[in-house]
Structure 1
Amino acid sequence: MKEEIGEIQHGSEEQYMRMALEEAEKALKKGEIPIGAVLVFKGKVLARAHNMPISLNDPTAHAEILVLREAALKMGNYRLPNTSLYVTVEPCVMCIGALVQARIEKLTFGVFDLKSGACGSVYDIPSSPGILHKMTVVSGILEEECRRIIQEFFKKKRQGKDT
C-alpha cells in the first residue's frame, strides 16, 4: 500500500545537506557514527534518516539504506527514479550498490571517506563500466561542516571519550 508523501520542503542543495547534518547530529547523540541522509523527489523531502546500526543491531542500518527503505514504502516501489540523495559522507560499497539498485538519479555528499568510500575516493562504483544505471555524483556541499562532525566523533573515540 502506498503511503502519502509527507514532508514537503523545497530547498537548495545546501538546505538539503543541512537537513542531512541535522540527522547526523541525531546519530551523534546516540553514539552512532554521525552520518545523515535526506532523499528528495521533485523538491519534496521523501525521507530523512541517520546511521543506526548499533541502535538497531543491524549492520545494514546506514543512513542511506534507512532512507531508501522509508522512501520505497512511501512510493510503493523499490525503484526510486527522479530522486536525489543528500548524505554527509561519501557512501560505502554497500550503500552505493543499494543506490544503484534503487535507480537514484543524483547523489550529493559532503565529504569523501578516504578509508571506505565508494564514489571516487577508494572505489568509484558509479563510474564502473559494469554499472548500467548511471547517476550524477556531486561532492563537497558543506564539506567543512560534514568533515567537522565526523572528525570530532572519531577524535573523541580515539581519546576514549563517550560521544
Structure 2
Amino acid sequence: MTDSQTHERFMRIALEEAARSAEESNQGVGSIIVRDGEIIGRGRNLENTEHDPTAHAESVAIRNYAASKYHPKAQESWNQYFSNGPVLTGTTLYSTFEPCPMCCGAILATGISTLVLGGRPKPGTSKWGDYTLERLVELTARGERVEVITGVLPDECFNIRNT
C-alpha cells in the first residue's frame, strides 16, 4: 500500500467520525491518531453536544487517547508520565479539517509527529485571519517539528464539515 493509499484509508475513518459529529448537530470534523498502523485515539467535534467550546475533534482524540491509557486512580498519573516528555511522538494525527490554534497547541505539546489534513479554509475565509497551522508552528514551536501533509480527500472533508 502506498503512502497516499494509507492516508486515504485513515482519512476515511476520520470522515466517519466527522459524519457522526454532523449527525449529532456539531460541525462535521473528525480526527484519529495512528501509531504503527493502529488507531490509538479517535475524536469528533462535540462542541454543541458537550456544551464545551474546547471539544474540537483533535483535542477530543488526544483526550480519548489519554483516558484509554491512564486510569484516573492509577498510581502513575498523566502528569508524571507527561513530565517525561511528549507522549505522542511518532504518531500521525488525521484531521478532516485544519486544526485551530488551540488544537495546534495540543498537537505540539503532545509531540504528534505528522499531521495529515483533509480540508482547509479558503484563503480569506478563516475567522483566524491569515492563520495556517504551518505559520503557527513556525511562530511558536521551540524546536518541535510537525510534518504536515495536505490535500487528502479535501472535497469530502470540506463537504461534511459544512453539512
Q: Please list, as runs of the form range in 1=range in 2, the aligned pairs for 1:52-71 lying within 5 A after superposition.
A: 52-71=46-65
Q: 1:113 aligns with which of 118, 121, 135?
A: 121
Q: Point out where structure 1 has 5 or more consecutive residues left out of the alignment.
A: 1-10, 154-163
Residues 115 and 149, structure 2, Cα contact 8 Å, conserved in 1: yes
SS in 1 for 2:116: strand
Distance 2:19 2:141 in 1: 36
Q: Point out where structure 2 has 5 or more consecutive residues left out of the alignment.
A: 71-80
Runs of 4+ in 1 over 3 A off after TM superposition: 73-78
Give the structure-1-normalised TM-score: 0.78
Segment of structure 1 superposing worse, 70-79 or 12-21: 70-79
2:30 pairs with 1:40: no
2:51 pairs with 1:51: no
- Aligned residue in 1 for 2:101: 93
Identity %: 31
Give the structure-2-normalised TM-score: 0.78
Residue 24 of structure 1 deviates from its aligned partner by: 0.5
- Aligned residue in 2 for 1:148: 159
Residues 108 and 141, structure 2, Cα contact 8 Å, conserved in 1: no
CA RMSD of aligned residues (A): 1.7
SS in 2 for 1:12: helix
